Chain A
Amino acid sequence: MITDAIIANSPALLVMIPLIAAFACPFIGRISPAVRNIWVVGAMVLTAAMALLLAGEVFSSGTVVYTFGASAPGMSVPPDSGGIPVRIVFTVDAMSALMQIIGAITGLSIVLYSIAGDRRHTGLESYYTLYLLMIAGVMGMVSTGDLFNFFVFLEILSISSAGLIAYRIDRGVAVEAAVKYFVLSTIGAMVILVAIGIFYGEYDALNIAVIASRMQFTLLDQVALVLMIAALGMKCGAVPMHFWTPDAYSMAPSSITAMLVVASQASLYGLFRVVFTLYNVTLNAATVGWIIIVLGVLSMVVGVTMAIPQKDVKRLMAYHAISQTGYMLLGVGVGLAVLGNQSLLDAFGYVAMEGGIFHIINHAMYKGLLFLTAGAIFYRIGTRNLNRMGGLGHNMKYTMVFFVIGALAIAGIPPFNGFASKLMIYESVFMFNPILSIIAMVVSILTLASFVKVFHSIFMGPRLPEYADVKEAPAPMLIGMGILAAVVVLFGLFPGVVVDHLIEPAAQALVNQGAYISAVMGGA
Chain B
Amino acid sequence: MLVFGTIPYLVIVALAVIGLATVALKRNLIKIFLGITIFESAINLFLVSLGYRDGAVAPIFTDAPSTEMVMATPQALTLTSIVIGVATTALLLSFAVLIWKHYGTVDTDKIRRLKE
Whether the complex brings A and B within 8 Å at their CB atoms is answered yes
Residues of A within 8 A of B (CB): 148, 152, 155, 159, 162-163, 166, 169, 171-173, 175-179, 182-183, 186-187, 189-190, 193-194, 196-197, 200-201, 206, 246-247, 251
A164 to chain B, nearest CB (A): 11
Contact B43 A193 (CB under 8 A): yes
Contact B92 A190 (CB under 8 A): no
Question: Known: A162-B91, A166-B98, A200-B74. Is A172-B39 also a contact (CB below 8 A)?
Answer: no
Query: CB < 8 Å: which of B29, B40, B50, B102 contacts A201?
Result: B50
Contact A183 B113 (CB under 8 A): no
| Distance between Cα atoms of A189 and B47 in the complex (Å) | 14
Q: Which of B89-108 contact A (CB under 8 A)?
A: 91-92, 95, 98-99, 102-103
Question: Known: A171-B102, A182-B92, A183-B32. Is A176-B73 also a contact (CB below 8 A)?
Answer: no
Contact A187 B32 (CB under 8 A): no
A-B CB proximity, top 10 nearest: A172-B102, A201-B50, A247-B114, A175-B98, A155-B84, A179-B95, A190-B43, A173-B113, A197-B47, A175-B95
Query: CB < 8 Å: which of A159, A171, A177, A251 contacts B91?
Result: A159
Query: CB < 8 Å: which of A148, A172, A183, A194 contacts B46?
Result: A194
Contact A206 B102 (CB under 8 A): no
Question: Known: A172-B102, A187-B39, A197-B47. Is A179-B73 also a contact (CB below 8 A)?
Answer: no
Contact A194 B95 (CB under 8 A): no
Q: Contacts of B72 on A, CB cut-off 8 Å?
A: none
Contact B23 A159 (CB under 8 A): no
| Distance between Cα atoms of A186 and B36 in the complex (Å) | 8
Q: Mark B14-26, 1 if CB is under 8 A from A, else 0.
A: 0000001001000
B75 interface hit (Cβ, 8 Å): no
Question: Known: A194-B46, A247-B114. Is A148-B91 also a contact (CB below 8 A)?
Answer: no
Q: Contacts of B50 on A, CB cut-off 8 Å?
A: 197, 200-201
List 17 extra interface pairs beyond A177-B114, A187-B39, A197-B74, CB under 8 A.
Answer: A152-B80, A172-B98, A172-B103, A172-B113, A175-B98, A175-B102, A176-B113, A176-B114, A182-B91, A183-B23, A183-B92, A186-B92, A187-B36, A194-B43, A197-B46, A200-B74, A201-B50
B88 interface hit (Cβ, 8 Å): yes
Q: Contacts of A172 on B, CB cut-off 8 Å?
A: 98-99, 102-103, 111, 113
| Distance between Cα atoms of A501 and B46 in the complex (Å) | 45
Interface centre among A155, A179, A189 (most CB of B within 10 A): A179
B11 interface hit (Cβ, 8 Å): no
5 contacts between A and B (CB under 8 A): A159-B91, A169-B98, A175-B102, A193-B43, A200-B77
Query: CB < 8 Å: which of A152, A169, A179, A193 contacts B29?
Result: A179
B18 to chain A, nearest CB (A): 14
Q: Contacts of A175 on B, CB cut-off 8 Å?
A: 95, 98-99, 102
Q: Contacts of B102 on A, CB cut-off 8 Å?
A: 171-172, 175
- Size category, B interface: 20 to 34
Residues of B within 8 A of A (CB): 20, 23, 29, 32-33, 36, 39-40, 43, 46-47, 50, 73-74, 77, 80-81, 84, 87-88, 91-92, 95, 98-99, 102-103, 111-114
B98 to chain A, nearest CB (A): 5
Query: CB < 8 Å: which of A169, A177, A193, A251 contacts B47?
Result: A193
Contact A251 B114 (CB under 8 A): yes
Q: Contacts of A148 on B, CB cut-off 8 Å?
A: 77, 80
Q: Contacts of A166 on B, CB cut-off 8 Å?
A: 95, 98
Q: CB-nearest residue of chain A relative to B29?
A: A179
| Distance between Cα atoms of A522 and B2 in the complex (Å) | 41
A439 to chain B, nearest CB (A): 24
Q: Contacts of B88 on A, CB cut-off 8 Å?
A: 155, 159, 182, 186
Q: CB-nearest residue of chain B relative to A152?
A: B80
| Distance between Cα atoms of A155 and B80 in the complex (Å) | 11
A162 to chain B, nearest CB (A): 6
Contact A163 B91 (CB under 8 A): yes
| Distance between Cα atoms of A194 and B50 in the complex (Å) | 11
Q: Contacts of B46 on A, CB cut-off 8 Å?
A: 194, 197
| Distance between Cα atoms of A246 and B116 in the complex (Å) | 9
Q: Contacts of B36 on A, CB cut-off 8 Å?
A: 183, 186-187
Q: Contacts of B112 on A, CB cut-off 8 Å?
A: 176
Q: Contacts of B73 on A, CB cut-off 8 Å?
A: 200, 206
Question: Known: A163-B91, A175-B102, A179-B29. Is A190-B114 also a contact (CB below 8 A)?
Answer: no
Q: Contacts of A163 on B, CB cut-off 8 Å?
A: 91
A163 to chain B, nearest CB (A): 7
